[in-house]
Amino acid sequence: MTLAIETEALGKRYGDVQAVEGLSLQVAPGEIYAFLGLNGAGKTTTIRMLLGMVKPDSGLARVLQAPVRLGRREPWASVGYLVEVPHAYPELTVRDNLEVARRLHPGTPRREVDQTIERLRLTEYADRPAGTLSQGNAQRLGLAKALLHRPRLLILDEPANGLDPAGIVEIRQLLLDLTRQEGATVFMASHILAEVARLAQRIGIIHQGRLLQELDLPALERNRRRRLVLRTRDLQAARRSLEAAGHPAAVLDDGVLEVRSQAVIERPEEVSRLLVQAGAPATHLVVEEEDLEQYFLRLIGVSGGAA
- Enumerate binding residues for other proteins (CB under 8 A): 14, 45, 48, 51-55, 70-71, 73-74, 76-77, 79, 81, 83-85, 87-92, 96, 99-101, 103-106, 145
Contact 195, 40 (CB under 8 A): no
Least CB distance to other proteins at residue 111 (A): 17
| CB 89 to other proteins: min, Å | 6
Residue 91 C-beta: closest distance to other proteins, Å: 5
Residue 229 in contact with residue 210, Cβ under 8 Å?
no
- Cβ closer to other proteins: 103 or 222? 103
Tell me the closest approach of the beta carbon of residue 61 to other proteins, in angstroms.
12
| Nearest-5° Cα angle at 292, 288 to 295 | 80
Cβ neighbours of 288 (radius 10 Å):
14
Residue 236 backbone phi and psi in degrees, to 5: -70, -40
Q: With beta carbons less than 8 A apart as the criterion, state whether 50 and 210 touch.
A: no
Measure the CA–CA gap between 193 and 237, rounded to whole angstroms.
39
CB contact set of 281 (below 8 Å; sequence gap of 6+): 232, 272, 275
Neighbours of 118 (CB within 10 A): 12
Tell me how far, at minimum, the Cβ of 103 lies from other proteins, in Å.
4
CA distance 274 to 239: 10
Helix (H) or strand (E) holding 262: helix 262-266
Contacts of 195 (CB under 8 A, 6+ apart): 160, 168, 172
Nearest CB to other proteins, comparing residues 14 and 250: 14
Judged by CB, which is closer to other proteins: 70, or 194? Answer: 70
Which residue, 99 or 170, has its beta carbon nearer to other proteins?
99
Of 48 and 227, CB closest to other proteins:
48
Closer residue to other proteins (CB): 116 or 294: 116
278, 270 Cβ separation under 8 angstroms: no
Backbone angles phi, psi at 190, to 5 degrees: -160, 155
**Least distance in angstroms from the C-beta of 100 to other proteins:** 5
At its nearest, how many Å lie between other proteins and the CB of residue 70? 6
| 38 versus 66: smaller Cβ distance to other proteins | 66
